Amino acid sequence: MGLGLAACAPNPPLSNPSDAMVPATDTSAYGARTDTGPNGEPIEIHAVRKAYLNQRNTRQRVAYNGPEDVGTVVVDPYARFLYHVIAPGEAMRYGVAVGQAGKNFQGNATISRKAAWPSWTPTANMVRTMPDLYGPLKNGLGGGVDNPLGSRALYLYQGGRDTMYRIHGTMDPSSIGKATSAGCIRMFNQDVMDLFNEIPNGTRVKVRTQAESIQLEGPLVEMPNGYLEPAGGVQTATATQ
């Protein structure tokens, strides 16, 4: 797909924190962190609650059967995985949430911009079509704990032009591994921060098609809790591929 992708519009910040934003105790890679905000201020990042760290969501080194070269980032919006190919036949795999716009782009792109605690501004079309939702944010929302892009953002370009496709963090870790109403590709803040440090500008990105996803990951079904599981042996689920 070319550059006709609409902006990856994240959900506006919540007026009241949900249970997903309550601090949790965790000493793994998903533990609490202190980071430096856009104005030099310290920002506390909560640990991810253990309830959200299921097997498909947590980062792990896995065998990789795709054709991409070492260093490539591979996004599979249908399996809700992101891979960073780290060696021949080997990748670091991350669970992601996929918004509606996350399936509107496929093919190759390049990460040409990286931002820590990114700001976000809705497009003029978003403000015009959904003024109640996006009108209050028409002048932009600065980076920080209230920004739905989370701690980091990676911007995909194609032919030197912004595709409007983003890989970014989230302020709602309960969404990871699920389909969401808005946004592109969300990661746990801890995961996107570590990926941000691993890859430079110029990194190639491949976004899989649905056919490629089925070929490489197999058919999946969505369970009542919103998470995906392999289709074999699942009784009560909704087909997603």
Residues with catalytic roles: 168, 184
Angular region, 83: left φ>0, alpha ψ -120 to 50, beta rest:
beta
**Dihedral over Cα of 151, 155, 156, 162: its sign:** positive
Beta bridge partners of 43: 35
Exposure string of 215-226, with b = 16+ CB inside 10 Å and e = fewer, is ebbeebbbeeee
Rounded CA-CA distance 172/18 in Å is 8
Structure tokens that stand for 88 in this block? 């021949």
Place of tokens 């392999």: 230
